[in-house]
Amino acid sequence: MMNMTELELAQMIDHTLLKPYATEEQLKQICDECKTYHFKMAAINSGVTAFIHEQLKGSGVHTGAAISFPLGTNTIEAKLYETKDAIQNGADEIDYVLNIAKLKQKDYDYIEQEMRQMTELCHSSNILIKVIFENCYLEKEEIKAAAEIALKVRPDFIKTSTGFGTSGATAEDVRLMKSVVKDAVQVKAAGGIKDLQTAEEMILAGATRIGTSHGVELIQQLRERNS
């Protein structure tokens, strides 16, 4: 059990709605929840970045666009274009899926080139960037290899999962990622985090951001515990 305030927890949560059938009404509800609970970011698909940015304007909540989501198979050029478009439409943060096949083929030069170009693009616009590994498809050595590349390139975060794979975040994977990047890069845990206990396990393992569509429930559970 951790000793956290509601605001401290909320500022670690990327409140998420990435379903392909999300309507503007549902997206607006997510934004309203972000503003009510003071979540750090609304995590959405890049095509609705402008809409979300407009909803969140002046609230202090970041607009977070998912790039090459959820498969990561686009070319570097396509990922860069989608990122530029999202930034032009008001994204404050970018979460992109790395090329999983290239990583499994041990094409580490490609992974580094992709990560470096994406990071340089975001940082040149003062935008935070998170690299999604999708750990459920990776061996531990592959997770470690991707984290070692991140240690060289220095994106802002490395992230466990999209939430669309065969499984989500585990505390074991968070600890592994953190053991490589130390304090040079932050770790975001996402995928399958549905309750406060699981979120706290990820934070204790080293995660400083939590991606979840259950942000409201997490805050309510903390409120009940602290009451």
Residues with catalytic function: 95, 159, 188
Kindly compute the dihedral angle of the four CA atoms of residues 22, 27, 29, 33, in this order, to the nearest 10 degrees: 120
Q: Max CA-CA distance within the chain?
A: 52
Distance separating alpha carbons of residues 107 and 113, to the nearest angstrom? 10
- Closest-CA residue to 213 (of 161, 178, 172, 143): 161
Distance separating alpha carbons of residues 94 and 32, to the nearest angstrom? 21
3-state secondary structure of 130: strand
Q: What stretch of H or E contains 4?
A: none
**Tokens encoding 91:** 């994204």
**Omega within 30 of 0 (cis) for the link into 155:** no
